[in-house]
């Protein structure tokens, strides 16, 4: 129980949002919620109060958190009919923890500021496991004073919390994160596929690599998924596709070439074409396996 319970709002109770909201209510805060689908059982069984609209959440809460799939979803929840903007006033804070366009984020922040409210973009990394265990990395963009006000709440949901810069910079950091994650998944997939096709035990190869310079969280977690063929989503391919679209469109606007990011996106596109949009993003390896006509775990011919 926190010493000073706050009136908080949370909009978007998916596989990430539900456990994140759960940590806030478990800490003793008053929570007002709104979601397009059924309220998850883990939240329905708490003291959280359901609201009929995003605007009602904003009216009742002092700080409103969003955890939504994409840029158009955030825009609709903020500025659509009955949206968050309709319930805001001076001194309130909107915290968008979705992963969306850095450029759009700057526009959203300006509009919210014009209503007298403050805005933080605070996308996260760590997936469903990080959300459940409150170990997310949180990359924040916005004013220092607003960040300090919200930081104790971030600490209920994550461990590595960084104020990157002004509005939009948190989203830029998240896009950079997703580039690194995608390229690491591709590298691990290639390495384990190569090892398996060469006749080595991919599980033992992974174990050996975990002790050297090639060690990474991706090799640890997603390398194991590739070997055990456990592709139920922690983070869906379609969401990573969305993030890489943000990377590639932003890079185009900036005049920057991201050739390997484009390759990773094409591998995700191949998975999606094989009905894999809802696979975990570690299943990118399946596209590599199609190219090789060989799966990790098979016996080499």
Which of 7, 90, 106, 174 is labelled catalytic? 174
Distance CA 203, CA 227 (A): 7
Q: Where are the alpha helices (DSSP H) in 70-139?
A: 71-79, 102-114, 127-133
Question: If DSSP codes are grouped into helix, strand and coil, which group holds residue 140?
Answer: strand
Told to judge if 92 belongs to the known catalytic residues of this protein, a careful annotator would answer no
Distance CA 263, CA 220 (A): 23
Instruction: Count the Cβ atoms, other than its own, within 10 Å of residue 47.
Output: 11
Distance CA 202, CA 194 (A): 9
Q: Where are the alpha helices (DSSP H) in the chain?
A: 17-26, 41-44, 54-60, 71-79, 102-114, 127-133, 144-154, 169-197, 202-209, 217, 223-228, 237-254, 259-273, 284-292
Distance CA 130, CA 86 (A): 32
Catalytic positions are 174
């Amino acid at each position: 129980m926190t010493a000073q319970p706050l009136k908080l709002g949370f909009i978007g109770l998916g596989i990430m949002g539900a456990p994140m909201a759960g940590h806030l209510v478990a800490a003793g805060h008053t929570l007002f919620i709104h979601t397009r689908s059924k309220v998850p059982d883990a939240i329905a069984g708490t003291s959280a109060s359901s609201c009929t609209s995003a605007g009602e959440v904003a009216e009742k809460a002092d700080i409103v958190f969003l955890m939504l799939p994409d840029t158009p979803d955030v825009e609709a929840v903020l500025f659509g009919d009955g949206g968050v903007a309709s319930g805001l006033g001076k001194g309130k804070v909107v915290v968008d923890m979705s992963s969306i366009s850095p450029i759009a984020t700057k526009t959203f922040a300006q509009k919210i500021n014009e209503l007298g409210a403050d805005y933080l973009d605070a996308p996260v990394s760590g997936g469903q496991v990080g959300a459940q265990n409150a170990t997310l990395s949180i990359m924040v963009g916005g004013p220092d004073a607003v960040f300090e006000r919200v930081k104790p709440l971030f600490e209920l949901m994550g461990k590595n919390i960084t104020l990157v810069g002004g509005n939009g910079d948190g989203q830029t950091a998240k896009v950079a994160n997703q580039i690194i994650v995608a390229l690491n998944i591709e590298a691990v997939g290639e390495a384990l596929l190569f090892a398996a096709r060469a006749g080595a035990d991919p599980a033992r190869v992974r174990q050996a690599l975990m002790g050297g310079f090639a060690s990474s969280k991706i090799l640890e977690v997603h390398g194991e998924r590739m070997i055990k063929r456990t592709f139920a989503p922690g983070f869906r391919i379609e969401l990573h596709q969305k993030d890489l679209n943000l990377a590639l469109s932003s890079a185009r606007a900036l005049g920057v070439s991201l050739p390997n990011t484009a390759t990773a996106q094409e591998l995700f596109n191949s998975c999606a074409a094989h009905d894999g949009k809802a696979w975990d993003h570690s299943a990118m390896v399946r596209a590599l396996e199609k190219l090789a006509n060989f799966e990790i775990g098979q016996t080499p011919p």
